Amino acid sequence: MYKSSPSNGFSLVELLVVVALLALLSSFAVATMRDVASSKGIEAAAFEAKTLIEFARSEAMVRQTPVWIAFRNATNDGSLEVQAAVFGSIDGTLNSSGTNLATLSRVVRLRGVGMSHFSALLPATQSLASVTAPPNELLDNPSGIIATNIPSKSFDNRWTMTFMPRGEVLLDGAPAMAAGFDPHVGFGFVPTRGNAIESPQKQDVGILVEGSTGAARILRF
């Protein structure tokens, strides 16, 4: 008499379990890839910002004139990004009016990040600064320059640092020649998603500028 053998196939319940597990693993993979992309984005932004800061410092010392670096948040094609540019004094004086500003660099676009207060960075990132007092906040600068000589890209939020001819840094956009320097200037970058800062904040990177020398450090936990 013929006997049917047990089926080697999957039951409907087993198939549904497998599909659910695959969907769960896919969501983990997507989240991991997004975190990796965000990590690379803020690291690249920090490196480009540090390079631009070093350029501004070098230009001030070579030209023996004040040089300013300006940052701003901007939205391009629905995505938030940071833009930065370097400006120099046309007549070599501390006159920071728009008519006396020459553009010394292209507008650098730092994609996938937004500006952050240093004090808003993750505690682990802030701890890497190893300074005795909190740095002066770039984003709280009340007297930076207003650069409007780049069409459609006006830097008018005063997020600027001034480099003096010996490389010192301060936040005053039009200081006296013997104004000294700010001990430290700090700011940071955080990942963005679309046109907003990513929330909750899982990672970030800090930039700390030594006021007496103009040297910049990247702080990444």
What six digits make up the tokens of 45? Answer: 């932004």
Element (H, E) at 36: helix 12-63
pLDDT at 140: 97
pLDDT at 22: 65
CA distance 151 to 107: 11
Domain boundaries, the chain: 12-219
Render pLDDT for 119-151 as a digit per residue (tens, 0 to 9): 999 999 999 999 999 999 999 999 999 988 776
pTM of the model: 0.82
In which residue ranges of the chain is pLDDT below 70? 1-10, 18, 20-39, 151-152
pLDDT at 154: 86
